Structure 1
Amino acid sequence: MSRSPAGRLAIRACLRLLSSPQQQNPPAAARWLSSSTGSPLSIRGGLFGSMAPAASASAAVALPPGFDGHYQAAASAGAPPPAAPAAAASSDASMARLRALARPIDRYLALRDLLAADPRAYYSLLLTHTEEILPFVYTPTVGDACLQYHRLPIKTWGLYLTLDDRGRVLEKLRSLPQQDVHAVVMTDGERILGLGDLGANGMGISEGKIALYTVAAGLDPASCLPLCIDVGTNNASLLEDPQYKGLRRRRPARAEFDSFMAEVMGALAAWRPHVMVQFEDFGNSNAFRLLDSYRHTMCAFNDDIQGTAGITLAGLLSAARATGRPLIDHRILFLGAGEAGTGIGELVARYLHLRHGVTVEEGRARCFYLDSKGLVCASRRPSLQHHKLPFAHDADYCADLRTAVQQLRPTALIGVSTIGGAFKEGILRLMAEINDRPIVFPLSNPTSQAECTFEQALEWTGGRVLFASGSPFSPARDAAGALRQPAQANNVYIFPALGAAAIETRAAALPDEAFVVAAEELAGMTTLDDVNAGRLFPPFSSIRAVSARVSARVAEFMVGRGLGAAPPGVRAGAARGEWAEYFSSRMWGAEAPMRSKL
């Protein structure tokens, strides 16, 4: 996109101001500039020309009454100036302006500006250019956004519940402008991607996940609530940062945390009895305990544990087809033994039990883990965390990954360690010596924490790798010069579709088998030619059609098991194709009316 020299200088000046942590609320005169074409430009990246004064009356982000003052101030700091000029920009023009921004974080801010000003235009753009825009809405850019969240001049459009709200959580929920809520994405910010404890800045994760529910499964944005549980942070740099907006205290002891979470979960159930709750980026110790506490009494799941497990199982099923060997004949070595890694192992074991008739214990015996202290094995049982004990097999202890690969001779190597570059050249070359088609999944997010790149995996395995990553990578050429496309094991293939199925069937709970059937349906959408070429998942350009099929399979399972009921639009005993048509017909589009303010 060409601009005059003056226009380019104006944009650079804006972006320099944007990048300054001190420039929280610049004067209105500094916020709006005229380009060489006369288009309004927002310092916060609102380049779409749609931030009109009228938007504040009908489409502006509304904060619920009862928000603490410091959150209100943070939100109002990002409000557009009252006299912002209006212009209706086409999708193509909007994309051209978005592409003119060099830094991913600037694109993230531009998109948030559009969402604040005109939610319909935002979702229209996102649905039209999903593959291009999604990396700026969620991973990898959302990681950078969360690191800077307290400094960014943006409106928070989710709900914060803090320890100061004890005794009035239900009151705050009932004061929200949006009451017809079906899905809640909840985090306490303790383990944001691979970035650690970001406290109240974790709201960016909940907001990003909510957008994916609309993009992938067609949930009405007004029916989805981003929620951040602010109980403090143990991140000293945030506590010392004068711009940090969260509670300025360290995280509470377990009893205090559990008591507050009991109030939150009880209030959600009282407020919306059939609400679906997605736990997101809780620390390991709390993640497993919360899931165990609420998964059988509410429609609740943990995406880091179960959603990641579902997409990884789908990738393994596709990769196993390419090797010509069923998954039961594979041996999987994980680098990292946190909630994501052991969640994958548990779902693999459940799949092998359900489909191959082995016990769950026999299924677990095919999964091995290396944590920061070496191989998880029987000799370490006395010192292991509870979630690692089922995988403490009778094996010789070793301290490093290369020795573990030599000793165990795995067919699949999965990275959930958040240690960038951990899959060294020697390790991947060894995997290629052991296997004709080595399976290598560096799943850690964001991209900087990935255990290897796609290009490295191709080069070091002689192009024979079956690859899937957590964050997106660019295509790369193999040794023969052929351009290869990497697969991305993106949870968005699983959790929105599964959530839609749970909501439409009013599911009382979500058992592990629901994630197994979702993974099977997803893997079944790829052909043998696809998987042989390394395309382990269906094309993301078809995400809504994919989600409709996954939702149909899960809903059929839930109703068949008596865990949910068919909605009025689906007849008893409906075939899976009818279910898929139902879910497709229920998907919200940008042309649909917004039922309430965001």
Structure 2
Amino acid sequence: MRDYDNIIHTGLTGRLLLENSLLNKGTAFSMEERSELELHGLLPPKIESLEEQCRRAYKAFSVKPTPILKHIYLRSLQDTNETLFYALIQRHLQEMLSIIYTPVVGQACQRFSDLYRRPRGLYIAYQERDRMRSMLANFKRNIEVIVVTDGERILGLGDQGIGGMGICIGKLSLYSAVGGIAPNQTLPILLDTGTNNENLLKDPNYLGWRHERIGDDEYYAFVDMFIQALKHRWPNALLQFEDFAINHATPLLEKYHNELCCFNDDIQGTAGVAAATLLAASKSGGKSIEDMRVAFLGAGSAGCGIAEQIVRLMVGKGLSEEQARTRIFMVDRDGLAHNQMTGLRPFQHKLAQTYNRIASWSDGGSVTLEDVVTHAKPDAIIGVSGQPGLFTRSIVKKMAENHERPIIFPLSNPISQVEALPDDIIHWTKGRALIATGSPFEPVLYQGQSYPIAQCNNIYIFPGLGLGILASGATRVSDNMLDAAVQTLATSSPALTTPDALLLPSMKHIQQVTTHIALSVAVQAQKDGLADPCDRSEMEHRIRERQWSPVYRRMRMAHS
């Protein structure tokens, strides 16, 4: 871990110090600190260790009766004492991940205006666009990682307007808790371009810009103003695009990926973890990725991003790009994408099947997922539709008829939007399916055997990607760097040695896996000429030095 200065010198005293979440130690301030920093009388007399504080905080967390109240408690703790917040999260990550992020964060986004308590992050509204540079300039900290959203496509919930800030806060919490990125060097940003959510527009408590979303011309000009202001203020920061709508996500990534160090987590992060999980499942099932056929339900930016990542894996195993694309089947609301279909977006065209190949798969109408399963016999089906129940009993049973170990990934979240419940999939396939989900699920008990369900969570990719980028000083995010992360995660799968084990590592090993991914990403950045060269041991040292840990440092008053 990075050895920060043992002594922090602060110009704050008394209540101002206690109100600074990055410096506040609460009851852990020593008697000497309380004297020097004028804290006597502002704290209970007992002096606690961080471990004692964690036990007390966990007890308070545990008695909250509902997940959303647990979320509110943790957010309040984060706003009060960030060191304690992260120490608590690290000790109980498996339990608290679903509370601070998917699926409970979705409820928090829906109720963001009602739950709002204290400011965190930066809100840049369209009507204040002329003040954008001064807004960034007024934020005095040295920022290294930014998560930005416009709130238009939050999880499976759609347009949540300003509520999208909850996603950015949650993602950056995981950068710090898992990747060891110092929280004072992260910044969540909400680009408020209005909302088309009628409920929000009518809600008198809504805190965002009460206006319909702006048109594309104004939108792209506004985002470009932000990107240019960001490059001026923090030219070396890593920017993560988060939860942008399908019609904006890919164009923004394509426009800016060579202009600054950035990536889109919904396209590339989701693609990375899903592809790594598929790679692990294929090996566990005794198959090679290049021999597989994969069908998708959902042909949006996330689904197509996963598909493109799988194509790269197949090409890396010796297939031509054309051969690899014939093994991918993209099914959306209008049926299987083919080259005579109108209305396809540019990124969907590349994944469309030839019409002559699939014309006989239906009775003249669109080709459904069930038609694809019947005729193409895919080894895996991946759900990113955002629509519940679409992996039907009939489809799943056909998958089990076609393959001894069918691979079935219902990845939509939150749980209310999942394509099929793991319990149903296990029963319909008599325990033979290899499953990963987007939301967390308890193990399924079937005929006396417990089947653990892997959560295909982006947490396995983006913290390690970010850490590797910062440690290496990479100036861009390349496809090769993402491929390196995928391969490293896949080789960490417990299922490679124990067939019925989880397809992804346990959360108790997530920090170790993250460090391995960071190293592979950093080394690849060097190979791609995007980072200054150094030997492997030096890069390992840089990564360790980069990793912040939630421990208290001694504090003294700064004297001029």
TM-score range, shorter chain: 0.7 to 0.9
Shift of 1:478: 2.1
What is the distance in 2 between the residues matched to 1:421 and 1:360?
A: 33
3-state SS, counterpart of residue 350 of structure 2: helix
Shift of 1:580: 3.9
For structure 2, the residue ranges without an aligned partner over 5 or more in a row are 1-12, 23-40, 556-560
2:20 pairs with 53, 60, 80, which one? Answer: 60
Shift of 1:181: 0.4
Shift of 1:160: 0.6
Does residue 523 of structure 2 align to residue 556 of structure 1? yes
Residue of structure 2 equivalent to 1:48: none
Shift of 1:403: 2.2
Alignment of 1:67-78 (within 5 A): none
CA RMSD of aligned residues (A): 2.1
- Normalised to the residue count of structure 2, the TM-score between the two structures is 0.88
1:169 pairs with 129, 132, 137, which one? Answer: 132
Residue of structure 2 equivalent to 1:307: 269
What is the distance in 2 between the residues matched to 1:246 and 1:492?
A: 28
2:390 pairs with 414, 419, 422, which one? Answer: 422
What is the distance in 1 between the residues matched to 2:457 and 2:125?
A: 30
Equivalent AA in structure 1 for residue 475 of structure 2:
A
Does residue 539 of structure 2 align to residue 579 of structure 1? yes
3-state SS, counterpart of residue 383 of structure 1: coil
Residue of structure 2 equivalent to 1:281: 243
2:323 pairs with 342, 351, 362, which one? Answer: 362
Residue of structure 2 equivalent to 1:525: 492
- Whether contact under 8 Å (1:55, 1:118) holds in the other structure is no
Residue of structure 1 equivalent to 2:186: 224
Residue of structure 2 equivalent to 1:546: 513
What is the distance in 2 between the residues matched to 1:439 and 1:164?
A: 48
Does residue 66 of structure 2 align to residue 92 of structure 1? no
Alignment of 1:5-20 (within 5 A): none
Does residue 472 of structure 2 align to residue 505 of structure 1? yes
Residue of structure 2 equivalent to 1:458: 426
- Whether contact under 8 Å (2:160, 2:195) holds in the other structure is yes
Residue of structure 2 equivalent to 1:393: 353
CA 1:216–1:454 in structure 2 vs 1: closer, same or farther (change >3 Å)?
Answer: same
CA 1:313–1:531 in structure 2 vs 1: closer, same or farther (change >3 Å)?
Answer: farther
Shift of 1:86: 8.8
3-state SS, counterpart of residue 200 of structure 1: helix
What is the distance in 2 between the residues matched to 1:189 and 1:122?
A: 25
Residue of structure 2 equivalent to 1:293: 255
- Whether contact under 8 Å (1:112, 1:154) holds in the other structure is no
- Whether contact under 8 Å (2:151, 2:159) holds in the other structure is yes
1:322 pairs with 280, 284, 302, which one? Answer: 284
What is the distance in 1 between the residues matched to 2:89 and 2:434?
A: 30
Does residue 240 of structure 2 align to residue 240 of structure 1? no
- Whether contact under 8 Å (2:289, 2:313) holds in the other structure is no
Identity %: 35
What is the distance in 1 between the residues matched to 2:257 and 2:369?
A: 34
What is the distance in 2 between the residues matched to 1:246 and 1:490?
A: 29
3-state SS, counterpart of residue 391 of structure 1: coil
2:115 pairs with 152, 158, 162, which one? Answer: 152
- Normalised to the residue count of structure 1, the TM-score between the two structures is 0.82
For structure 1, the residue ranges without an aligned partner over 5 or more in a row are 1-52, 63-81, 567-571
Shift of 1:372: 0.7
Shift of 1:343: 0.2
After superposition, the C-alpha distances for 1:88-120 in whole angstroms (9 at most, x for unaligned) are 563223212211112110000000111111111
Size of the aligned set, in residue pairs, is: 513
Equivalent AA in structure 2 for residue 429 of structure 1:
K
Shift of 1:220: 0.1
What is the distance in 2 between the residues matched to 1:472 and 1:519?
A: 21
Shift of 1:164: 2.0
What is the distance in 1 between the residues matched to 2:88 and 2:180?
A: 14
Shift of 1:592: 5.4
Shift of 1:594: 11
What is the distance in 1 between the residues matched to 2:282 and 2:115?
A: 44
Shift of 1:581: 5.0
Q: Which has the higher contact order (CA 8 A, sep 6+)?
A: 2
2:332 pairs with 371, 374, 381, which one? Answer: 371
Alignment of 1:196-235 (within 5 A): 196-235=158-197
Alignment of 1:18-33 (within 5 A): none
Shift of 1:127: 1.1
1:128 pairs with 48, 68, 91, which one? Answer: 91
Shift of 1:133: 1.0
CA 1:461–1:173 in structure 2 vs 1: closer, same or farther (change >3 Å)?
Answer: same
Equivalent AA in structure 2 for residue 343 of structure 1:
G
- Whether contact under 8 Å (1:548, 1:581) holds in the other structure is no
- Whether contact under 8 Å (2:410, 2:436) holds in the other structure is yes
Residue of structure 2 equivalent to 1:19: none
Shift of 1:60: 3.3
3-state SS, counterpart of residue 263 of structure 2: strand
What is the distance in 1 between the residues matched to 2:493 and 2:102?
A: 24
After superposition, the C-alpha distances for 1:272-322 in whole angstroms (9 at most, x for unaligned) are 111110000000010001000100111010000000000011101100101
What is the distance in 1 between the residues matched to 2:323 and 2:66?
A: 48
- Whether contact under 8 Å (2:388, 2:417) holds in the other structure is yes
- Whether contact under 8 Å (1:530, 1:536) holds in the other structure is no
